[in-house]
Amino acid sequence: MGDDAVHHGFWTERDPDEARVVALAEVLRAADGPADLDGGWPEPLWRPLVDAGVLRWSVPAGQGGDAVPRPLLVQRYARLAESSLTAVFILSQHDAAVRRLMTVADRPRAAEWLRSVAAGEAMATVGISQLTTSRRLGAKALTATEIGPGRYRLDGAMPWVTGAENADVFVTGALLDDGRQMLIALASDRPGLSVLPAFDLAALQASRTAEVVVTGVEIDADDVLTGPTTEISAQPGAVGTAGLETSALALGQAAAALAGLAALTAGRVDLVEPVDLMRETWSGAWSTLMACARGEGDAATAGSLRAQANALALRTTQSYLTARRGSGFLRTDPAQRWARQALFFLVWSCPSPIAQAAIRDLAGLCPA
């Protein structure tokens, strides 16, 4: 890892901030292993992102941001995820929240949050899995009850929230009793909002993913981003926590393992053919990702890409662990960390068709 010759050719978009992105990647790579072992909030990963102005990448220029074009933004996700999946996972959840705030950037409260984010003064995250892949209805759902014109009381929980204990604002979804839904920007200091202890995860423990409980929190119209309306989660791009960004993270993880494998091929001729084949497959997936980021692909293409990126993350990391033999199984070795982290893509924001494709692939069946 770290050899420019190994990485050359992975990334295709011209980046005017190439040197800064490379320097940031090296900082994240050095901090990633210790952060994984510690499991607490990874300030050595998050602070460099803030200091490098990464939080401005997704923010519109009108709110003090850099408005980085999506193809380049997706590439930067992958490049940094190659160094630290933990850091970019937290960033991806932050940026998903920012994208929702951007849809109503003309509203004073949303604009204020965006300016705070761009200035590095606020961290955002999303808590909307109750509307998408982790529906939790009944007593645990996050519900909204109308208590006056434009005013609502929130009760329930956000099941899976990354970086919850450090967030300043949650972009979350709530259900009304008539079945309509709304998206909300909820400040973390509201009375009645509490963050439970972080989950004990198999990997990415330092992401500090936790459940957030909401009890009698009152909001007004300025806090509402979208709705109330029917099935926000079914509207294309309405929630936006997965998609191309998650595929970019998976391909970044795969790139790390491929670079590790390539570094071993000098003394292991048995690795040359498998590594060449996996790199060819990776390059094809990368071309598809960039085409989709430029708007040249449809939803079916993006879904197929996600399944392929998942499979690449699993195969490359397990191959690297196998090639590293026993030393790769030590907690201090990146091989075991990457293999554990690759499992994340099987369960996080993974719609049923993608999960089914993964199971068929693992069973050795041809794609349906």
Q: Do both 84 and 136 map to the same domain?
A: no
* CATH classification of the domain holding 114: 1.10.540.10
Q: Do both 93 and 141 map to the same domain?
A: no
Q: Do both 51 and 154 map to the same domain?
A: no
Cα 263 to its chain centre, rounded Å, is 28
Q: Do both 114 and 130 map to the same domain?
A: no
Amino acid at residue number 206: A
Query: Which class for 60: exposed (0-12), middle (13-18), buried (19 or more C-beta within 10 A)?
Result: middle
Q: Do both 357 and 248 map to the same domain?
A: yes
Residue at 287 is within a domain: yes
DSSP assignment string, 240-304 = -SSHHHHHHHHHHHHHHHHHHHHHHGGG-GGGHHHHHHHHHHHHHHHHHHHHHHTT-S-HHHHHH
Residue at 322 is within a domain: yes
Are residues 210 and 159 in contact, defined by beta-carbon separation less than 8 angstroms? no
- Average pLDDT per run of 10 along the chain, which is 368 residues long? 45 91 97 96 97 93 91 96 97 94 87 92 89 54 90 93 96 90 93 96 96 95 86 49 84 96 90 95 95 87 90 96 94 96 87 78 72
Q: Do both 297 and 330 map to the same domain?
A: yes
* CATH classification of the domain holding 275: 1.20.140.10
Q: Do both 158 and 252 map to the same domain?
A: no
Q: Do both 278 and 313 map to the same domain?
A: yes
Give the tens place of pLDDT for each residue, 127-148.
987 776 555 444 467 999 999 9
Given 118, 136, 159, the domain boundary residue is: 118
Q: Do both 161 and 213 map to the same domain?
A: yes
Q: Do both 154 and 76 map to the same domain?
A: no
DSSP assignment string, 161-174 = ETTGGG-SEEEEEE
Residue at 368 is within a domain: no
Residue at 367 is within a domain: no
Q: What residues have CB less than 8 Å from 123, skipping those under 6 apart?
A: 55, 94, 117, 163, 166, 167, 168, 169
**pTM (2 d.p.):** 0.91
SS3 category, 190 = coil
CA distance 239 to 183: 9
Question: What's the token pair of residue 106?
Answer: 């003309």
Q: Do both 247 and 217 map to the same domain?
A: no
Instruction: Please tell me the predicted confidence (pLDDT) of residue 249.
Output: 97
Q: Do both 277 and 189 map to the same domain?
A: no
Residue at 209 is within a domain: yes
Domain that holds residue 304: 243-362
Amino acid at residue number 161: V
CA distance 53 to 120: 7
Total domain count for the chain? 3
Given 214, 234, 254, the domain boundary residue is: 234
* CATH classification of the domain holding 146: 2.40.110.10
Q: What residues have CB less than 8 Å from 255, skipping those under 6 apart?
A: 7, 10, 78, 82, 282
Given 206, 234, 262, the domain boundary residue is: 234
